[in-house]
Amino acid sequence: MRAAPDLVHTTTSEILEHNMPFVLPSQLLINALRENDLIPSVVPENFAPSVELSVEFSGKRFTPGEKLTKEETSEEPKISFIDTDDIGPNGPSSYTLVLVDPDAPSRAEPIYGQWRHWVQSGLIPVSIQALATIQSGQEDKNIAISEASAIPIVEKSKIEAVTPYLGPGPRPNSGTHRYTFLLYREPRDGFSLTAADMGSNEFTQRRSWNATEFAVKNGLTLVGATFFLVDS
């Protein structure tokens, strides 16, 4: 029997060459999240991505579910996304990015999951107007362009991370960990987050956290997600 195609890692040219049914990137993401049991354990059942979130470690962009190493992911990554649905007279919304590990200390015994690796609020995406200048060849020199994705990189907010980035460090012999990025649109009126809102960012205080509860409490709307795997 012919093996089923790996849709998560299938390119558009391969789809056309083999007359495969076309699948939207959002559906590929949903499929990958379900196949890795991240829906509904980390991502809500009704999640409908409206933003394609791109994450790069040292210039390398990964596809959802790709295996990376601790060394590759030790430094804070660069983020890129454009929310084409978020157009209005007041300009783009701001966003909060979260990175969690639900498999702490292991997927078999996740008594400390979710482990909070990063929370960065106040991210501002490149405007549609700026994107148009990029596409016309009149790039704004203040906008960083991702060579891997050809999407403008979101410059890091001047607001300090409410939980500073700490790279993956799975316990030895604890199996594969599913590190999950969640991108939330922030409320427009008077929204702010501080480190004090997180309780504590000490190592042991980052454990047993819940991103969905955090989002509900702060009125955040989940619009994008991706994830990578790291073996212990």
Give the span between the Cα atoms of 102 and 180, in whole angstroms.
Answer: 8
Taking only the tens place, the pLDDT of each residue in 17-69 is 555 554 567 889 999 999 999 999 999 999 999 888 989 998 888 999 999 99
Residue 157 has pLDDT above 90, yes or no: no
Give the span between the Cα atoms of 55 and 123, in whole angstroms.
Answer: 14
Q: How far is CA 93 from the centre of its chain?
A: 17
pLDDT > 90 in the chain, percent: 53
Q: Domain 49-231, what fold?
A: Phosphatidylethanolamine-binding Protein (3.90.280)
Across 155-164, 187-196, 212-221, least confident range: 155-164
Mean pLDDT estimate for the chain? 81
Residue 125 has pLDDT above 90, yes or no: no
pTM for this entry: 0.81
Identify each DSSP E strand in 91-173 by its residue range. Answer: 95-101, 115-123, 153-154
Strand order of the β-sheet with 66-68 is 66-68, 221-231, 176-185, 95-101, 115-123
| pLDDT the model gives residue 4 | 42
Residue 144 has pLDDT above 70, yes or no: no
More confident residue, 60 or 177: 177
Q: How confident is the model at residue 160 (pLDDT cuts 50, 70, 90)?
A: confident
Task: Tell me if 229 sits within 8 A of 68, measured CB to CB.
Answer: yes
**Mean pLDDT along residues 141-166:** 64
Which residues have a Cβ under 8 Å from the Cβ of 150 and sit 6 or more positions away?
Answer: none
Give the span between the Cα atoms of 98 and 162, in whole angstroms.
Answer: 10
Taking only the tens place, the pLDDT of each residue in 127-142 is 555 555 555 555 555 5
β-pairing verdict for 115-123 and 95-101? antiparallel
DSSP code for 197: G
Nearest residue to 116 via CA among 140, 141, 99, 139: 99
Task: Tell me if 31 sits within 8 A of 8, measured CB to CB.
Answer: yes
| pLDDT the model gives residue 1 | 38
Q: Exposure pattern of 22-34 as b/e (b: 16+ CB <10 Å)?
A: eeeeeebbbbbbe
Both tokens of 191, joined, read 């929204």
Residue 226 has pLDDT above 80, yes or no: yes
Both tokens of 80, joined, read 């890129």
